């Protein structure tokens, strides 16, 4: 189990730096598999996978952001405008709505939303040349939506923030770098919510702090913080079209697995 988590952390850290996605989109399906294999309660397994994934982004994002910042590609003005909305949306999602959803609906929501995000990225629809990022209020409102939806799927928001910024004519490399910086406030707000909302539900499972399974968190972070800078450096060497195809194909694969998980949950109960 520990070896699997260390290897998973290394791969996810690299992907987080490469794609600006925080790593949660990769972590949730694999953690769901590992926690199921370990014998965790079926009522907790997806909640624990999502919460643990999100909390790991706190550490991965710091490592990734340092590498992107050194190249000067983070749009800090966008980060500052989105952060207040992200925190509000994350606290609402992780602290209230998350605990009320059962495994079936969480799995289904994850699968459908990730699949839709992958499709939007793959079809490569060009934005209007005149379109720009909205003002501070509009950008903060977009941040609230990104923070809220990210909390439901345990991701750092890159699956939403990258397409949104590209749609507003932010260059893809800048969007990936800026998304990596947005991962920290998203993870912080939602992690606080997961701890508060899961205090009673997680008490039955050893190693849980709220919905967060801390032994897995420690193992993931040990390797992900080392490989995230490597992915960030690679992101500036690959062409834009390649990045988009990698991003989209990754999302389709993960969506397919979580659809299977939703079906299994439905069939079992």
DSSP string computed for 125-147: PPPPTT-----HHHHHHHHHHHH
DSSP code for 212: E
Contact 194, 183 (CB under 8 A): no
pTM, two decimals, is: 0.74
Render pLDDT for 30-65 as a digit per residue (tens, 0 to 9): 888 889 888 888 778 888 888 888 888 888 778 778
28-33: long-range contacts (C-beta < 8 A, 24 or more apart)? 28/53, 28/110, 28/153, 28/154, 28/155, 28/254, 28/258, 29/254, 29/257, 29/258, 29/261, 31/216, 32/258, 32/261
Beta strands at 208-209 and 212-213: parallel, antiparallel or unpaired? antiparallel
Considering Cα of 30, then 31, then 32, then 38, what sign does the dihedral take? positive
Contact 12, 156 (CB under 8 A): no
Render pLDDT for 196-248 as a digit per residue (tens, 0 to 9): 888 877 677 788 888 899 999 999 988 888 887 787 777 667 676 676 677 77
**Whole-number Å distance between alpha carbons of 74 and 184:** 14
């Amino acid at each position: 189990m520990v070896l699997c988590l260390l290897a998973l952390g290394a791969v996810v850290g690299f992907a987080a730096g490469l794609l600006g996605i925080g790593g949660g989109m990769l972590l949730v399906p694999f953690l769901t598999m590992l926690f199921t294999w370990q014998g965790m309660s079926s009522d907790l397994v997806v909640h624990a996978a999502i919460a643990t994934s999100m909390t790991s982004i706190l550490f991965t994002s710091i490592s990734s952001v340092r590498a992107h910042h050194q190249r000067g590609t983070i749009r800090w003005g966008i980060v500052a405008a989105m952060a207040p909305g992200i925190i509000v949306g994350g606290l609402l999602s992780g602290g209230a709505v998350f605990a009320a959803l059962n495994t079936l609906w969480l799995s289904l929501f994850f699968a459908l939303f990730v699949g839709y995000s992958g499709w939007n990225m793959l079809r490569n629809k060009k934005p209007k040349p005149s379109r720009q990022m909205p003002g501070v209020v509009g950008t903060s409102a977009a941040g609230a939506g990104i923070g809220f939806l990210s909390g439901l799927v345990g991701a750092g928001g890159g699956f939403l923030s990258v397409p949104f910024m590209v749609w507003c004519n932010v260059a893809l490399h800048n969007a990936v770098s800026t998304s990596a910086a947005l991962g920290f406030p998203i993870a912080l707000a939602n992690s606080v919510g997961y701890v508060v909302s899961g205090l009673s539900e997680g008490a039955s499972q050893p190693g849980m702090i709220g919905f967060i399974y801390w032994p897995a968190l420690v193992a993931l972070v040990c390797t992900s913080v080392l490989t995230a800078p490597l992915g960030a450096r690679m992101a500036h060497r690959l062409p834009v079209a390649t990045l988009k195809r990698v991003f989209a194909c990754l999302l389709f694969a993960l969506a397919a697995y979580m659809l299977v998980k939703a079906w299994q949950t439905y069939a079992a109960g």
